[in-house]
Structure 1
Amino acid sequence: MVIYSVYWLKEEVARNYFHKSELLFRFFKEYENNQHRSYLKKQYHYITSEFPKEKIHFYVRKQFGMKSNLTKEREDSRIDIFANNKYISLHIGEKRLKFHSESLQDAEEILFPLLRQMHPYLFVVGNTYENYGWISPMKNISYPSKSKEVLYSCD
Structure 2
Amino acid sequence: MRNYQIYWIEESFANHYYGRERMFFGLFSDWERSSGDLNKIISKQVEFITKPIPYLPTHRILQHELVKVEGAKWIDTTAIIEGEDSGANLLMNERSISIEAWGPNDCEYLFFEILRRNMGQLLAIDLDNERYGWLKPIKQRKFIY
TM-score (norm 1): 0.76
Q: Any stretches of 5+ residues in structure 1 without a counterpart?
A: 73-77, 143-155
CA 1:33–1:90 in structure 2 vs 1: closer, same or farther (change >3 Å)?
A: same
Contact 1:15–1:141 (CA<8 Å) still a contact in 2?
no
Partner Cα distance (1:92, 1:107) in 2: 14
Q: Any stretches of 5+ residues in structure 2 without a counterpart?
A: none
Partner Cα distance (1:139, 1:65) in 2: 30
Q: Residue 136 of structure 2 aligns with which residue?
A: 136
Q: Residue 73 of structure 2 aligns with which residue?
A: 68
CA 1:26–1:53 in structure 2 vs 1: closer, same or farther (change >3 Å)?
A: same
Q: Deviations over 1:60-88 (max 9, x none)?
A: 1111128321413xxxxx22234798522
Q: Residue 94 of structure 2 aligns with which residue?
A: 94
- Report the CA distance between 1:41 and its aligned residue: 1.7
Q: Residue 42 of structure 2 aligns with which residue?
A: 40
CA 1:84–1:104 in structure 2 vs 1: closer, same or farther (change >3 Å)?
A: closer
Partner Cα distance (1:28, 1:123) in 2: 11
Which runs of structure 2 are paired with 1:49-88 in the superposition (5 Å)?
Answer: 49-65=51-67, 67-72=72-77, 78-82=78-82, 87-88=87-88
Contact 2:3–2:100 (CA<8 Å) still a contact in 1?
yes
Q: Deviations over 1:48-68 (max 9, x none)?
A: 011111122111111112832
Contact 2:80–2:87 (CA<8 Å) still a contact in 1?
yes
How many residues matched? 136
Partner Cα distance (1:31, 1:133) in 2: 18
CA 1:16–1:107 in structure 2 vs 1: closer, same or farther (change >3 Å)?
A: same
Q: Residue 114 of structure 1 aligns with which residue?
A: 114
| More displaced 10-residue stretch of structure 1: 51-60 or 84-93 | 84-93
Partner Cα distance (1:123, 1:136) in 2: 8
Identical pairs, percent: 21
Q: Residue 28 of structure 1 aligns with which residue?
A: 28
